[in-house]
Amino acid sequence: MNIALFGYGKMGKMIEQIALKRNHSIVAKIDLDATDIDFSKIDVAIDFSMPNAAFGNIKNCLEHNVPIISGTTGWLEDYQKAVDLCNENQGAFIYASNFSLGVNLFFELNSYLAKMIGSQKQYRVSMEEIHHTQKLDAPSGTAITLAEGVINETDYTKWKLDNAGDSEIPITAKRIADTPGTHTVSYESEVDSIEIKHTAHNREGFALGAVIAAEWIVGKTGVFTMKDVLNLS
């Protein structure tokens, strides 16, 4: 498969290594705004760029009929526009806040736990995410997906960074050097605590998941998620 990388930073470089090992070719590396991209030889694009660049890259690919996988976080105010563009162009698009298999299993576990605890009003939920100090957005996209998972199953209505009101889920974002990504969901009552936690040891899981999503999407039409790719219920 001929892959174009939008964003050639920490993730772009890791994705390149994994894609080459899986016998794909990297036919373009776009690391800044580019106007002279030859879309005719690209089978699929993978965007791990920056919050202010992701939507432009997705739009460019969809308008040139190139399927696009986006892992960039912090641009979700434009997500619905990307979905509409994909549908208008009969294109193919996946955004995931986290492409690793482990985190996608963790999302399922989080929803299941929230569903069980939803009616147990003695528990208060909170979340913590820890990432490296270069991260531009907070809270992490993964923490937002986790919060949405809880909101779907309980009476919580919103998430909020730090101090939250009664119906809001408080998320604490910490930045510590060299931390690839750690997420904890905690439930506290007067008498006990329940915690679930996912720790990424490096970026390989994110990158492998993105390449697997790219392999999966070629030849398909529509807006998909990692649940579709991994065949999770």
Ligand X SMILES: NC(=O)c1ccc[n+]([C@@H]2O[C@H](COP(=O)([O-])OP(=O)(O)OC[C@H]3O[C@@H](n4cnc5c(N)ncnc54)[C@H](O)[C@@H]3O)[C@@H](O)[C@H]2O)c1
Mention every residue, 6+ apart, whose C-beta is less than 8 A from residue 185: 110, 113, 125, 126, 127, 146, 150, 195, 196, 197
Using CB atoms, what's the residue nearest to ligand X? 9
30 binds, among ligand X, ligand LLHOTIJI, none (CB under 5 to 8 A by kind): ligand X
Q: Are strands 124-131 and 182-188 parallel, antiparallel or unpaired?
A: antiparallel
Q: Is 131 a catalytic residue?
A: yes
Give the contacts of 150 (CB within 8 A, at least 6 positions apart). 110, 111, 114, 125, 156, 169, 185
Nearer to ligand X, 73 or 182 (CB): 73
The minimum distance between CB 50 and ligand X, in angstroms, equals 4
49 is an interface residue for ligand X by CB under 6 A: yes
Structural contact between residues 123 and 150, judged by C-beta atoms closer than 8 angstroms: no
Core vs surface per residue 143-159: b (16+ CB within 10 A) or e: bbbbbbbbbebbebeeb
Active-site residue identified among 135, 197, 220, 227: 135
| Active-site position among 10, 121, 131, 227 | 131
**Rounded distance between C-alpha atoms, residue 184 and residue 197, angstroms:** 4
- For residue 91, give the H/E element and its range: none
CB 194 to ligand LLHOTIJI: min, Å:
22
Site for ligand X (CB under 6 A): how many residues?
26
* Residue 6 binding ligand X, by CB under 6 A: yes
64 is annotated as an active-site residue: no
The reply to whether 146 sits near ligand X by the rule CB under 6 A is no
Q: Could you give the 3-state DSSP secondary structure of residue 208?
A: helix
- Residue 108 CB, shortest distance to ligand LLHOTIJI, in Å, is 17
Position 213 contacts ligand X (CB under 6 A): no
- Positions that interact with ligand LLHOTIJI (CB under 6 A): 73, 97-98, 131, 135, 140-142, 181
Question: Which long-range contacts does 156-160 make (Cβ < 8 Å, 24+ apart)?
Answer: 156/125, 159/127
CA gap 85, 107 in Å, rounded: 27
Residues acting as catalytic residues = 131, 135
Per the annotation, binding residues for NAD(+) are: 71-73, 96-99
Per the annotation, binding residues for NADP(+) are: 29
Per the annotation, binding residues for (S)-2,3,4,5-tetrahydrodipicolinate are: 132, 141-142
Residues of the shown chain interacting with ligand X in the complex, contacts defined by CB under 6 A? 6-12, 30-33, 48-51, 53, 57, 71-74, 96-99, 206
